[in-house]
Amino acid sequence: MDRQPAPHGGDPAAAPGYQVVRTQVRWGDCDPAGIAFFPRFFEWMDLASHALAREMGITREDVLGPASYGFPANHAQAEFLVPALLDDEIEVRTTIVHIGRTSLRMRHQLVRMSDGVLLARGEAVRVHIQRVPSRAMRPVPLTPAMRRVLSRYVPAEL
């Protein structure tokens, strides 16, 4: 199974109300007992962040260029509920719980696909930045197009 976003056909109306990225627990993700090492959960949440950045139109060239843009995390936390095991297929379900001027707060649920068990949940705050010639990062406002993409993943109860 690829570590790629699971498409919803490109039709926002077909989206489940959260962004979906699927992955599988691999040998290198595990300790000798076959249990996923806890930093991997942060890696899997990061996969969702990168998929969302691509959906917002941030390309590889944007990230690697001299005046690059990006979405670094300035806060991340997780609660681990049930171990993920070797070969488990995992769905990372991401909602946007806050959209600020230059930042957003993402909420992730990591669910084992075979039985729907919630393995972990986490949150991350990402800041839209641009690197200036000195290589320093400065926050820049989210664009209207970015806000439109993000709004698809804001739960109705917020």
pLDDT, tens digit, for every residue of 42-66? 999 999 999 999 999 888 888 777 7
Residues 81-137 have pLDDT tens digits of 999 999 999 999 999 999 999 999 999 999 999 999 999 999 999 999 998 877 788
* CA gap 62, 67 in Å, rounded: 8
Q: How many CB atoms lie within 10 A of CB 79?
A: 10
* CA gap 154, 136 in Å, rounded: 31
> Is 97 in contact with 107 (CB distance < 8 Å)?
yes
User: Which residues fall within 8 angstroms of residue 89, CB to CB, at 6 or more apart?
Assistant: 1, 22, 23, 24, 25, 112, 113, 114
**H-type helices in the chain, by residue range?**
39-55, 60-64, 144-151
